[in-house]
Chain A
Amino acid sequence: MRGEPMQNIIVLKPDFNTQCARSSSKTLLSLALGAGLLLWALAQPTAAYAALGESSVSIARDRAALKSSLNTVSMKGYDVHELTNESGATVREYVTSAGTVFALTWNGTQVPDLKLLLSTYYDRYITAAQAHRTGHHVLSITTPELVMTVVKFQRKSSGQVYVPSLMPSGVTRQELR
């Protein structure tokens, strides 16, 4: 298949559109909920964001600034805010009627920016990840404070994380898709 001498053609280039988007879109800096996905998708700095256990007051801000679309669906007892980037990767944030993010799910090529999305729960993820014995492709955390599943296989990642104590009554993890 590749036994013959060959030349490898090399062209690396940064994404000009991304660079330009940063300089021309001050709104990006104030974007709240989508910041985690934004970093994941576009490597942009961020000033504020919503995350697990935090208020989602800024979710609706300037969705046009995101290369991701934002779609909000109201369910019984909570809202689902879905961010979808250009490659189709999604992050869904589940928000209580009081405005607190109680769960996250994602599906895409990469694990999203968990430091941003997990916020104060990030340290618990670190601790569990250091202690676990399930290898590089699967991580499962089941504690009273945090339930989390991360799968990263080849070019795909999906995951679910929620805070049991913040779950609205009557909501099950099976709904968090």
Chain B
Amino acid sequence: MRHVGLVFLISMAGLVASCGGGDDIGVVVGIGNPGGGAGMNTLAVTVDPGPAAAAGAVNRLYTTVTICAPGSTTECQTIDHVQVDTGSTGFRVLASVLGSGLAAASLPLTSDGSGSTLEECLQFADGYSWGTVRTADLYIGSEIAYGTPIQVIGDAAAAPVPASCVMGPVENTVQAFGANAILGVGNFLTDCGDACANGVIPGTYYGCAADGSCQSVTVSLALQLQNPVSLFALDNNGVVIELPATPSPTAMVTGTMIFGIETQADNALGPAQIYTVDANYGTFVSTYNGTPLDSSFIDAGSNGYYFTDSAIPTCADQTAFYCPPANLTRQASIQGTNGAVATIPFDVDNADSDFAANGAALPGLAGPAASSQVDSFDWGLPFFYGRNVYVAFEAAAPAGVVGPWVGF
């Protein structure tokens, strides 16, 4: 392997240890971060119909990221239609889009010396993705996240998917995934966190042997997928997403993602209020129709408002969306764990009419994807239109308030 110095070592010896055994054979290798990345802290973002292979997207926010082999400025590839997601952490790229300037094999695997590699399963509500964990330098706007652990979904070098990963349809292609890559810039610094560092959780990380067999393993925080923005030298305590007001279905919307909060003039909090969120889950309480929903969240990766209101009819052809006879305005509150409260009016359009408009930006798209058990109000991308939404990272304290929090 070319990047021997970046190869990590996984202790898999425990797999064959006796029951009384407890020796942790961890091997330590370094990864350098030479710093840098000053300058412009903005990145253009777009709501458009998506990559050609997955055309027809609505309310999906995309950007462009350049990915390089660690330490190289020539073995690089610029990836368009990278989905911007504040509901997950980490950069994940579909292997099928690589190969034009950068081969997946140029990105070092996280591996031990005996053929076992760190691979990851990512389970969504609607399916799963499977691939290797590799290391890359990410050039995002003018900022750089060196030595970032990323997932290469559908990597030809990955082991066969373990049975405990399979959950619904596989999403290892651009068509199924809906993007060429995803840039997870949620509140958390790592994708799984202490849960995977301290325990074995099927459906997350696996150590895979040369024979293709995989075992669920614990993974230290440092080895997990990282929030790329948190690895920047500067402007690394959060992001701001700014999308223009979009009062009706629109073909395409362009906006800006700004890195950092209160680090430069362009990311000052200004009149925005801070709503702290649950330190484990990033959730808060929203109240709708008098019902408090304590697992609510703001999520640029959701394409609509999703909440329960049995009085609003769903569409006959697609019951995942609401189709009121006439467009409605409703309101719900957002209450941070710090007690800050906002009342937010929002539109609930007839989704059939909105889809017929053939726009990628549908500000009134809503659906009934919550239930009495789910107890959540999902403030998806429509919430972002006409707002500056701040996402502060855990452990950081932008504006003097310890994250995680959201602001708007």
A5 within 8 A of B: yes
Mark interface residues in A79-110 (1 if CB within 8 Å of B CB, else 0): 00000001100000000000000000111011
Q: A111: CB under 8 A from chain B? A: yes
Q: Among residues 297 to 335 in chain B, which have CB atoms less than 8 Å away from a CB atom of chain A?
A: 297, 299, 301-304, 306, 314, 318-321
Residue among B22, B88, B369 with most chain A CB within 10 A: B369
The docked-state distance in angstroms from the alpha carbon of A176 to that of B372 is 7
Interface string of B282-309 (1 = CB under 8 A from A): 1100000000000101010111101000
B169 touches A130 (CB 8 A): yes
Contacting residues of chain B (213-250) with chain A, CB-CB under 8 angstroms? 215-220, 222-223, 230-234, 236-237
In the complex, chain A residues whose CB is within 8 Å of the CB of B188? 154-155
Q: In the complex the two chains form, is B60's CB within 8 Å of A135's CB?
A: yes
**Interface stretch (choices B67-75, B342-350, B373-381, B382-390):** B373-381
Residues of chain B at interface, number, CB under 8 A: 100
Are B26 and A13 in contact, CB atoms less than 8 angstroms apart? yes
Q: CB-CB < 8 A to A10: which residues of B?
A: 8-10, 26-29, 220, 222-223
Cα separation A132 to B314 with both chains bound (whole Å): 14
B124 and A3 within 8 A (CB): no
| B168 is an interface residue with CB less than 8 A from chain A | yes
Partner of A135, one of B11, B31, B301, B314: B301
Bound-state Cα–Cα, A169 to B373, Å = 20
A residues less than 8 Å from B218 (CB atoms)? 12-15
The minimal Cβ–Cβ distance linking A41 to chain B, given in whole angstroms, is 8
A153 touches B216 (CB 8 A): no
Give complex CA distance A130, B361 in Å.
22
Segment at the interface with A among B40-48, B152-160, B193-201, B268-276: B193-201
CA distance A129 to B320 in the complex (A): 11
Contacts of B219 in A (CB 8 A): 12
What is the CA–CA distance of A129 and B123 in the complex, to the nearest angstrom?
A: 13
Which of A106-148 touch B at CB < 8 Å?
106-107, 109-111, 113-115, 125-126, 129-130, 132-143
Give the docked Cα–Cα distance between A109 and B58 (Å).
27
Decide yes or no whether A26 CB sits under 8 A from chain B: no
Provide the residues of chain A in CB contact with B202, threshold 8 Å: 39-43, 110
Give residues of chain B (8-40) contacting chain A, Cβ–Cβ below 8 Å: 8-12, 14-15, 17, 19, 21-22, 24-35
**How far is the CB of A67 from the nearest CB of chain B, in Å?**
11
A20 at interface by CB-CB < 8 Å: yes
Q: How far is the CA of A140 from the CA of B124 in the complex (A)?
A: 13
Q: A129-B126, A156-B281 are in contact. Are A140 and B222 (CB under 8 A)?
A: no
CB distance A151 to B374 under 8 Å? yes
Distance from B236 Cβ to chain A, minimum over Cβ atoms (Å): 5
Flag if A136 contacts B126 (CB, 8 Å): yes
B368 contacts chain A at the CB level, 8 A cutoff: yes
Contact, CB under 8 Å: B367 / A140: yes
Give bound CA distance, A132 to B315, whole Å: 13
Of B31, B167, B301, which contacts A115 at CB under 8 A?
A: B167
The smallest C-beta distance from B199 to any residue of chain A, in angstroms, reads: 6
Q: Which of B171, B207, B320, B367 has the most CB of A within 10 A?
A: B320
**Is residue A71 within 8 Å, beta carbon to beta carbon, of the partner chain?**
no
Name 22 A/B residue pairs within 8 A (Cβ), A-sorted. A1-B396, A2-B230, A2-B231, A2-B232, A5-B33, A14-B12, A14-B14, A14-B207, A42-B202, A109-B195, A114-B168, A130-B127, A133-B321, A134-B126, A134-B367, A139-B369, A140-B320, A142-B319, A151-B295, A152-B123, A154-B188, A160-B374
User: Chain B interface (Cβ within 8 Å of chain A)?
Assistant: 8-12, 14-15, 17, 19, 21-22, 24-35, 58, 60, 87-89, 118, 123-127, 164, 166-169, 171, 176, 178, 186-188, 192-193, 195, 199-204, 207, 215-220, 222-223, 230-234, 236-237, 280-283, 295, 297, 299, 301-304, 306, 314, 318-321, 367-376, 378, 380, 396
Residues on A close to B: CB < 8 A? 1-16, 18-20, 23-24, 39-43, 86-87, 105-107, 109-111, 113-115, 125-126, 129-130, 132-143, 149-160, 173-177
